Structure 1
Amino acid sequence: MAIKVLPHYLINQISAGEVIDSPASVVKELVENSIDAGANRIDIHIKQGGKKLIQIQDNGYGIVKNEISLALQRHTTSKITSIEDLESLTSLGFRGEALTSISSVSRLTLTSRTQAHNQAWQIYTEGNQINHQIVPATHPIGTTVKVLDLFYNTPVRRKFMKTEKAEFNNIDNILKQLLLSRFDISISLSHDEHLVYYQPVVTTETEIQRRLKFIFGADFNKHSLSINHRSNDLFIHGWIAEVNVYRIINDLQYSYVNKRIVKNKLINNAIRQSFRSILQNNSRLAYVIYLEIKPCQIDINIHPTKKEIRFYEPRLINHFIIQGITNVAKCIIVNNPTIKSCHKENKNELEINNSESQNNTFSLPDWYFKEDVSNAIKNNMTGIYKLPSSFTYSNYFGQLLAILYNSYVLLKKNQKLILMSIPTSLCYLRKAQLKHCETYFKSRPLLFPLKIKINELYCKILKDNHTLIKKTGIDLMIEKDHLTLHAIPSTFHEYNLKNLIYAMLNHLNQQKKNYFKQLVHWLGNYEDKSKVISWNILKANILLAEIEYFCPDLLTKPPANLIQHIDIKNTIKMFNDE
């Protein structure tokens, strides 16, 4: 078979297949063009899920008459002019393929006017049409692109389009991604002549929270933690929250690099790695993360849709993201995130205590306690405690060296070795935390309440002991055949909560009369045999920090069932004797 040059219209349709595969991809490309054109108001009108009509109107710079026809040609753009521009991109688009690709598979009308001209101009193209006629039109400053009958000339592609509802939902998801990327832009969405929503420009913290609530829901707003970390030319910020597995969160994880929504395994893996050691097995993460980096440090030109990027220094980025998120991961399960007792000279160095040369202090670097960050955490966390001024280095149990048999920590203090029992430590810690407040213990709210079925006996026990239970920090609501658990003490974070509640109810049922101290003692000794915690250096350091804070008496007079000193000198002497 002879080799032939493909015709122009076929080349365009092949190119269109790389960029345009659905109504949602059309909306994405056109809205990104509007953002690159400096628009701060974008109105989207959809009919029949985008199959019949997609119309994008903006108030951007507009296009002058002699460039309108040029805008519909392949590889024409105002965003780059040289290789150097390609290596330091700041715009969302740059390939000059979007309008050409869309026009090759639809009936497209483009109308635009610039501020310098009173007259707007309009161009119409249909599928494979090459010669375009430009006519005068009436239009405000900005551009409107109207896309009719998408894929009308590619029956196979149209055949694979989803239902109107599914296509519209995809458009909605794309717009929500864009709403999270640019808080300085207002977006309205209409479907079949009905306004679906209008999101105005955001300028204040309250308005930012309102937009987050619109996209993620009220629970995310209430319990998410703020991330804010800068090091040299890198900056990561955003919000993150733990979500129980029964909540579907496929659409609640967003990553942005230089305000561009991206799919990048490095970022996702770094976030998971930050939480891996302390996240519950039945929990996942919801987040919106923004990474700002010098444009020359990333490569966007690796996929036509520009969703994928490549970092020139991936290991550096991975380490930086873990730095920025690990402390927030700690805050999710630790009730005293304001501990900051170990300040280093390097303010950008995260102290995660994962090597034997570090102290066992649960400390956050100075940058973490700037006004905006610490306040954001305080507003989203419960049970925040400040260390007393008497809390000094001399109080520490010692430097953590290793974890033995998943049950003991090996410590070094004053050139002596100490063995500490982890199960006993947990028992003392739980009791101390539950008794920490004279009135009610400040518990940690669940991101999503947990419903647990109960019988009539359990219901009666709960009603009789509701005040007593609430005093321990277990906040629940009793209903006809089930209870709804709203909050728990953070010390039970990794426990199977259903088993805990059932065991507690059985214990209360066996007692003739129940007292607060008695219940605290039982909770302190309670062990979740269904779950074995896998201990590591990070978890052990957090445990030590909590014990040092909540159980200061153990520092001066540790009981024998908690700590045993290892006589290393006599052990070494035995080698010499042999």
Structure 2
Amino acid sequence: MTIQILPPQLANQIAAGEVVERPASVIKELVENSLDAGATRVDIEIEKGGSKLIKIHDNGSGISKEELGLALSRHATSKLSSLDDLDAILSFGFRGEALASISSVSRLTLTSRTAEQSEAWQAYAEGSDMAVKVIPAAHPVGSTVEAVDLFFNTPARRRFLKSDKTEFTHIDEWLKRIALVRSDIHFTLKHNGKMVRNYRATSTQDQYLQRLAQISGKKFAEQAIEVNCQHDDLKLTGYIQSPFFESPASDTQYFYVNGRLVRDRLVNHAVRQAFAEHVTGEHASYVLMLELDPHQVDVNVHPAKHEVRFHQSRYVHDYIFQALQSALLQVGRLAVDRVEQPERGSTSVNRGYATPEPVSSQEGSGNYGVADSGYLSHDYPHERQSGAEVARNRFATSVSPSSRPAQAQSRTGASTFRAQAELPSAEAIASYGELLQTPSVAQADIDSKSMQSAAPMPPTLAGEFWVLAKGERLSLLPIKVVASRLLRDEILHKLDSGLVSQPLLMPVSIAMDETWIDTVAEREQLLRKVGIEVTIRLGQLIIKKVPPYLRQSQLVTVIPELLQWVRFEEPSNEALASWLAKHDEKRFESAPDTWSAFSQLDDNDREKLILKAKVLPWQSWLEEHPSD
């Protein structure tokens, strides 16, 4: 077959295969064009689930008569004009394919008028060459697009459409998603002549919460925690499920990047990981909006534009994770403070203000490790902070349950916490607080009296040893040995109730040894206790979840090593704790933090660790090297 240029209609229909999957795809493209045109109201009308009629009317800026013909042409757009524009896209559309693709698989007419024109004009494509015809029409300022008989000329595609009810459900779900992020727009939806959705524009938080309740359910809107966090050029806002509710309030899980709904593994992993230590788990509900420099994100990944790539993916992941985890921890601690204040007699619940200590969390950082220096990982040494700086410069995260009854407030700088009308019991909150507690938080929460009573930290040598002098004995105590012992004790304490497992961003697959089948089945309870979740499929051992202590280890060797070990014996908790501590490469604490924790040990435990110090023969050295 000879090479030839495809006819325009065939080329458009091929493009439509990527852009137009179903009626909901058509509505998505057309409504996004309306939003790009500056519309404040968008009316959607459909018949038979959108297969018979899709009509979109907006009050945007409209299209002039001179450009109306171009609007239905392929690769015609007003959103960008050069390659540089492609690197910083803020509009929904930019490919210039949607209208041409839709017009090739439906009977499409576009009617529009600008404020400068005295009359409106209507355009439609006809013939195999997709020639555009423009005629006068009556229409207010704005645009109306009608797509009739979707896939009428591609019967094979039409047969893949589901029932009218199913197609309407997809349209309704998409409208909910766009209505949550564009609360400034008035959306209406009619189906078969009946008004089924009417989302009025909002300008206040209370109005937005009403829209949130309308879309995601009253339960979620009443108990959701508001998140408002900004750091440099990153800003995260929205609502997340309260950790005090054991089951998800709804199936709402929406994440937006610069106003665009995305389905991205990286951000989904960061959100799940932030909730990993909470009872809500990976099924937590959330509506989150991330804003960042458009130069730092690539939206030109997929024709449907629901995927993005971040130029600094690790940086973005750590930011989302730390912001959400800090929000959840703040709410937990503030709620505890609110319950405990009357008992301490320090402050009235209804009028008191508490200033919680800065929260620092390391556990659960996963492959995108959250280091002592804040949320920034070791990939960004130029932005590292000391522990004290982190305490002062922690994200300015504002968190508050969104329910309107506000009986108590706690403030940290500009952050506010509006307590719910009803909170769990003090015992429940205290128990939950133990689940939330991480080692670094525990260290940050050491009271001032204990800190004052702790001995001052001795000098360090090469950042790896403490120099200890007792009497005439001079010795070097390895900081890593102490940190490892402290970590072992921490793991041992948690093993009684089982370790928290965290999902991997990408499951790890290993060629399976036949003996593992029986081992995994027999030691299922033990694996669950240490937070490991594996499955066997198609001759592969698939590692799905591991405890935070193994996140930085080489899982392809560590997990087989564990399976070989437990195949012949069931290790004690002490042995398991030692094994996990040995493989936790990322938990080498800073010398001051480790010394603080070391100082809290009882005398016997401290002496046992001091015995591991290396004694320096300083007397004999001086004898061999006398001073002049």
Per the TM superposition, whether the score is higher than 0.5 is yes
Match of 1:367 in 2: 396
User: Are residues 1:408 and 2:489 paired?
Assistant: yes
Q: What's the CA shift for 1:70?
A: 0.9
**CA distance in 2: counterparts of 1:223 and 1:291, whole angstroms:** 21
Matches within 5 A, 1:15-34: 15-34=15-34
The AA in structure 2 aligned to 1:18 is E
Match of 1:267 in 2: 267
Match of 1:298 in 2: 297
**CA distance in 2: counterparts of 1:205 and 1:258, whole angstroms:** 20
SS, match of residue 169 in structure 2: helix
**CA distance in 1: counterparts of 2:249 and 2:204, whole angstroms:** 30
Cα distance per residue 1:440-478 (max 9 Å; x no partner)? xxxxxxxxxxxxxxxxxxxxxxxxxxxxxxxxxxxxxxx
**CA distance in 1: counterparts of 2:604 and 2:128, whole angstroms:** 83
Verify the 8 A CA contact 2:315 2:376 in the aligned structure 1. no
SS, match of residue 42 in structure 2: strand
Match of 2:476 in 1: none
Match of 2:209 in 1: 209
Q: What's the CA shift for 1:406?
A: 8.2
SS, match of residue 99 in structure 1: helix
Cα distance per residue 1:36-76 (max 9 Å; x no partner)? 00000000001000010000000000111111111000011
Matches within 5 A, 1:73-88: 73-88=73-88
**CA distance in 2: counterparts of 1:189 and 1:118, whole angstroms:** 29
The AA in structure 2 aligned to 1:567 is E
**CA distance in 2: counterparts of 1:148 and 1:209, whole angstroms:** 36
* Contiguous gaps of at least 5 residues in structure 2: 338-353, 361-371, 379-383, 399-410, 431-444, 458-478, 499-575, 590-598, 618-628
Match of 1:103 in 2: 103
The AA in structure 2 aligned to 1:375 is T
Q: What's the CA shift for 1:28?
A: 0.2
**CA distance in 1: counterparts of 2:495 and 2:221, whole angstroms:** 35
Matches within 5 A, 1:276-355: 276=276, 278-280=277-279, 284-331=283-330, 333-334=332-333, 335-336=335-336, 340-342=356-358, 350=374
Instruction: Select 1:394's aligned residue among 433, 446, 449.
Output: 449
Match of 1:188 in 2: 188
**CA distance in 1: counterparts of 2:413 and 2:121, whole angstroms:** 48
**CA distance in 2: counterparts of 1:573 and 1:258, whole angstroms:** 54
| Worse-matched range after superposition: 259-268 or 279-288 | 279-288
The AA in structure 2 aligned to 1:104 is S
Specify whether residues 96 and 245 from structure 1 end up closer, same or farther in structure 2 by C-alpha distance, changes over 3 A only.
Answer: farther
Q: What's the CA shift for 1:379?
A: 4.8
Specify whether residues 20 and 569 from structure 1 end up closer, same or farther in structure 2 by C-alpha distance, changes over 3 A only.
Answer: closer
CA RMSD in angstroms comes to: 4.4
SS, match of residue 283 in structure 2: strand
Match of 2:89 in 1: 89
Q: What's the CA shift for 1:231?
A: 1.2
Cα distance per residue 1:489-530 (max 9 Å; x no partner)? xxxxxxxxxxxxxxxxxxxxxxxxxxxxxxxxxxxxxxxxxx
Q: What's the CA shift for 1:154?
A: 0.3
SS, match of residue 133 in structure 1: strand
**CA distance in 2: counterparts of 1:50 and 1:71, whole angstroms:** 22
The AA in structure 2 aligned to 1:307 is H
**CA distance in 1: counterparts of 2:493 and 2:585, whole angstroms:** 15
SS, match of residue 254 in structure 2: strand
Match of 1:478 in 2: none
User: Are residues 1:566 and 2:565 paired?
Assistant: no
Specify whether residues 160 and 39 from structure 1 end up closer, same or farther in structure 2 by C-alpha distance, changes over 3 A only.
Answer: same
User: Are residues 1:176 and 2:179 paired?
Assistant: no
Specify whether residues 564 and 285 from structure 1 end up closer, same or farther in structure 2 by C-alpha distance, changes over 3 A only.
Answer: farther
Q: What's the CA shift for 1:115?
A: 0.8
Verify the 8 A CA contact 1:127 1:153 in the aligned structure 2. no
| Worse-matched range after superposition: 187-196 or 282-291 | 282-291
Q: What's the CA shift for 1:394?
A: 3.3
User: Are residues 1:47 and 2:88 paired?
Assistant: no
The AA in structure 2 aligned to 1:224 is A
Q: What's the CA shift for 1:280?
A: 2.9
Specify whether residues 13 and 209 from structure 1 end up closer, same or farther in structure 2 by C-alpha distance, changes over 3 A only.
Answer: same
Specify whether residues 423 and 115 from structure 1 end up closer, same or farther in structure 2 by C-alpha distance, changes over 3 A only.
Answer: same
SS, match of residue 415 in structure 2: helix
Verify the 8 A CA contact 2:318 2:376 in the aligned structure 1. no
Q: What's the CA shift for 1:294?
A: 0.8
* Contiguous gaps of at least 5 residues in structure 1: 411-419, 427-531, 542-555
Aligned length: 438
Match of 2:556 in 1: none
Q: What's the CA shift for 1:88?
A: 1.2
TM superposition score normalised by structure 2: 0.61
Verify the 8 A CA contact 2:230 2:397 in the aligned structure 1. no
TM superposition score normalised by structure 1: 0.66
Q: What's the CA shift for 1:372?
A: 9.6
Identity of aligned residues (%): 37
**CA distance in 2: counterparts of 1:66 and 1:99, whole angstroms:** 17
The AA in structure 2 aligned to 1:314 is S
Match of 2:164 in 1: 164
Specify whether residues 155 and 351 from structure 1 end up closer, same or farther in structure 2 by C-alpha distance, changes over 3 A only.
Answer: closer
Q: What's the CA shift for 1:16?
A: 0.8
Q: What's the CA shift for 1:219?
A: 1.5
Verify the 8 A CA contact 2:319 2:375 in the aligned structure 1. no
Match of 2:511 in 1: none
Specify whether residues 365 and 115 from structure 1 end up closer, same or farther in structure 2 by C-alpha distance, changes over 3 A only.
Answer: same
Q: What's the CA shift for 1:569?
A: 7.6
Specify whether residues 208 and 130 from structure 1 end up closer, same or farther in structure 2 by C-alpha distance, changes over 3 A only.
Answer: same
Verify the 8 A CA contact 1:58 1:142 in the aligned structure 2. yes
